[in-house]
A and B are shown apart, each in its own frame.
Chain A
Amino acid sequence: MKHFTKLTMAATLLLGTAGFATAEGHSVTLETGQEVNMVLLPKFLGILVFDQANEGAQEAHAELENPGELLFIGPTPENSTAGQIEIMTTAATQGQGAVMISNNAGDQIVPSALAAQEAGTRVVTWDSPIPSGEGEDVFIAQVDFGSIGVIMADMAFSILGGEGQMAVLSATPDASNQNAWIAAMQVALEDEKYANIELVDVVYGDDQAEVSYNRALALVDQYPDLGVIMSPTTVGIQAAAKAMQDEGLCEQVKVSGLGLPSEMLSYTLNGCAPEFALWDFRDLGYLTYFTAYGLASGQLTGDIGETFSAGRMGDYTIEEDPGRPGTKRILMGPFTVYTAENVEAAAN
């Protein structure tokens, strides 16, 4: 109880001082050297992009000279939901300054996140938000998901030279992210610019390399005039590119979509997947850390309209999340389109 009172007092004090720091229309530069312990909590461990996010967060941790501890802990894949709830609950018990979570528990995380906030722990989501926004201070959105449709349509346009057949190789039929992105692309394709691009089929590789590989080859058999396979999943795009390369089909059918530079490097250089897009998870971890550090050290209030400087990435502003009315987000930025020009630098 004594502990709690102290925390409340500290929080009140911090909120008080933060009021001075945020003058209207003015970008806050975060003071370095504040001691806050923070937890970076991925959906689960053992996934490359989450490790990259951790690298970005560690970079920011060093840059901001935080004498506190930055922990990268997460559950195992088969225990993701319960594990995330457990870590969130424990973080509140430990009195962590902030938890940065790529939420995989849907709204099931809400009670534990609210309890964490009550205990004085800031909850910052990244990569995947809390759907209802309850228990969440702010969401760091990697990209504007509305723009993803246009990006994919544009890559198809450029690869096909404005004319030809395209097929989509997605993850599972009920993957909500991918379904939304494909729907967005279909809307984008209605624009006159893409009138000569025909979307012939959408197939599913279940986000498994072997299934995706076989589906990609089946597409080529089924549609002899197919020009590009668009795969909005990192598993699918890599499997499709490998299938085209193995069968010597790269001259005929190109692969594009959302992929990881490190996994796509060889296919981009040999022309099988000349263009693909993604966001940089290191940047995402870096920006997330800056935000969480600012909030937990009381230098940011987390109110809409607040602008702060996130080190090498420049200024960012907290705004309302258009996808989830009543909640707050920081939009990291546009997609990065990778080609033979820039893929090598990003792959390392």
Chain B
Amino acid sequence: MKIFIIEDEYAIRMELGQLLLKYGYECESSENFQNIGNEALNSGADLILLDINLPYQDGFQVCRDIRKQSNVPIIILSSRNTDFDELMGLNIGADDYISKPYNAQVLLARIQKILSRTYEVQSNAVLLHKGLTLNLLKATISYSGQEKELSKNELGILRILMVNKGNIIPRDAIIDELWQSEEFIDENTLNVNIVRLRKKLAEIGLPDYLITKRGMGYFV
């Protein structure tokens, strides 16, 4: 899946690209803002992330131009967070509107939702590290031919560790990641899930995959 980023701020463009790359998306962007709409269309992207404050023309105009030629999903990412901007964005054909500063997990979730709705199948939602394959859509892990299903929380834990492979992730950051709106996760829930995840990893032949760094957190 290819995502085209229309954003004039260099730092955001780069970091957003890296983030999406980590989660298995292909990324492209351009600095030719005079003709950015066509650039985005010609890249053959499956989804476009669009900023509003752009040089030469604003994002609304770009959005209109793209809509004239294509139905590719567009998500507007803007720091202009008045209700008027949001309404305007949605009225001229954007599929979603997220205001800055956004939570990266929310952004990823929305991208995934729109992509799966538009294209039905998603090919590359897979993370690979040290021989272990994590399928984000099917919520399974596989290693040397063996496969195990994961619960939602186990998947969340393993995903944050594998995306940040090699880095120690503190416990509170994992709890925070798991805590997506519905249910409050406490320390005990995390402990239980870590034990279960370890057990499942051991069952497919990776007993020491998830490593505890005492007093700091976990890493893979």
Q: Does B associate with A?
A: no
Chain B residues within 8 Å of A, Cβ to Cβ: none
Chain A residues within 8 Å of B, Cβ to Cβ: none
